[in-house]
Amino acid sequence: MAAEDDSFLWDQGSILSRDLLSATSAQLCYENLNTSCVRIPYSTGPRLILYAVFGFGTVLAVCGNLLVMTSILHFRQLHSPANFLVASLACADFLVGLTVMPFSTVRTVEGCWYFGENYCKLHSCFDVSFCYSSLFHLTFISIDRYIAVSDPLIYPSKFTASVSVKCILFSWSMPIIYGFSLLYSGANEVGLEDLVSALTCVGGCQVAVNQTWVFIEFLLFFIPSLVMITVYSKIFLIAKWQAQKIEKMSDQTANAAESYKDRVAKRERKAAKTLGIAVAAFLLSWLPYFIDSIIDAFLGFITPTYVFEILVWIVYYNSAMNPLIYALFYPLFRKAFKLIITGQILRENSSTTNLFSD
């Protein structure tokens, strides 16, 4: 999330200013370097609590999404174009937990970046790429659910494996190209050269983003979010209409074709509801962060450090929420998780296990 690093750049400047006023309360990231950034450390108690909270989120994001990917790829009953899209989403969230959250934990708690200048920029690229990849995956998943609910009988012929692969490729390639080209070209720092130069110090991860690119990032969030909200609003209306229709039809008068169609429609509505909860959680996690990024970029970075850190970690924690949502609302995933955790996945022919059985 490049906007995050822009605010972090400003926060480092604030820390430097406070250090001039209160040198006794601050320390250097690297005590033997005059060019080191200044930090104001937490006391032992708060540091341990923050490490525990952020560490738990990191483990949950890594292990939870690994469970989702393993479940879908191993169990044949979960092999479907839609679930492969879900597995790809889990991969993006898994990479957030693996390549972004551990390093951000140290930066947030210690107030310094100890992993080198090169990985600072790479870390920011991973942040942007994988988080936007999650967003695009969720957008395609919402469209998939709309097709499934609106016309469940012809849905398998519309959302095929090839369509799923195209959605997955776009959801990965677009964010990666955007994130890496923006940060490695330096376009994000145009107009901020003096500020970057003045605040550059050893131990800081300072990736500035100007107003233009903050606004573009907001649009990249807003447009897919608007698509998801619109699609799920239509899904809700269709589901309501289908439920009313089913209530009017008695089992005695319904023919076999209509009865089968109703069962399929009910199953697809339930899947749409589960993924709708995941989308809602994503939007609620991300919206405060992007609103604050816009305010900061245009009003001079007025957000206090601790407030911005809270918003950033709410976004990170979203990568750990989806596996919990699947476990709570999806019986098939719940049973698959149980089989993996208990080691039954190692049994011969475990991939053919009937996940519908009790």
DSSP letter string, 232-256: HHHHHHHHHHHHHHHHHS-TTT--H
**124, 311, 291, 275: which is closest to 221 by C-alpha?**
291
Highest mean pLDDT among 80-89, 186-195, 290-299: 80-89
Give the pLDDT of residue 354. 87
Cβ 319 vs Cβ 61: under 8 Å: yes
Lowest mean pLDDT among 44-48, 226-230, 277-281: 277-281
Residue 118: pLDDT over 90: no
Q: Of residues 136 and 255, which shows the higher confidence score?
A: 136
Can you give the pLDDT at residue 99?
95
On the question of pLDDT at 148 being above 90, the answer is no
| Residues 6 or more apart in contact with residue 109 via CB below 8 angstroms | 42, 47, 50, 51, 54
Q: Do 155 and 268 form a contact (C-beta atoms < 8 A)?
A: yes
pLDDT single digits (tens) 173-204: 999 999 999 988 888 778 777 777 777 888 88
Does position 111 have pLDDT exceeding 50, yes or no?
yes
pLDDT of 3 reads 41
How would residue 96 be classed by pLDDT, with cut points 50, 70 and 90? very high
Position 201 scores a pLDDT of 84
| Lookup: tokens for 231 | 């699609």
User: pLDDT per residue over 328-339, tens digit each?
Assistant: 777 888 889 999
pLDDT digits (tens, 9 = 90+) for 239-284: 777 666 655 655 445 555 555 455 555 555 665 666 677 778 888 8
Percent of the chain exceeding pLDDT 90 equals 31
Q: Which of 239, 228, 266 is nearest to 143 (CA)?
A: 228
Answer whether 196's CB lies under 8 Å from 9's CB: yes
- Residue 88: the pLDDT is 95
Residue 102 pLDDT > 60: yes
pLDDT band at 71 (very low <50, low <70, confident <90, very high): very high
The HSE-up count of residue 251 (CA atoms within 13 Å, CB side) is 1
pLDDT at 70 (0 to 100): 94
pLDDT at 21 over 80: no
Name the least confident of 10-19, 74-83, 140-149, 293-302: 10-19
Task: Please give the Cα distance from 355 to 336 (Å, whole number).
Answer: 7
**Which sequence spans correspond to the domains of the chain?**
2-348
Alpha-carbon distances, residue 59 vs 1, 65, 67, 87 (angstroms): 20, 10, 12, 18
**Helix 101-110 to helix 305-329 angle, to the nearest 10 degrees?**
150
Task: Place 20 in a pLDDT band, splitting at 50, 70 and 90.
Answer: very low
**For residues 197 and 231, which has the higher predicted lDDT (pLDDT)?**
231
At 132 the pLDDT is 92
User: How far apart are the two ends of the chain, measured CA to CA in Å?
Assistant: 43
Q: 203 — phi, psi (to 5°)?
A: 105, 5
Judge contact between 22 and 80, C-beta under 8 A. Answer: no
Higher pLDDT, 313 or 8: 313
Nearest alpha-carbon partner for 322 in 57, 55, 61: 61
- Tokens 């816009």, residue located: 294
- pLDDT over 70 percentage in the chain: 81
H/E stretch holding 91: helix 81-99
Give the architecture-level CATH label for domain 2-348. Up-down Bundle (1.20)
Cβ-contact 161, 81 below 8 angstroms: yes
Bigger pLDDT: 299 or 259?
Answer: 299
The predicted structure's pLDDT at residue 358:
52
- pLDDT mean across residues, the chain: 81
Query: Residues near 98 by Cβ (< 8 Å), separated by ≥ 6?
Result: 61, 62
Band the pLDDT of 24: cuts 50, 70, 90. very low
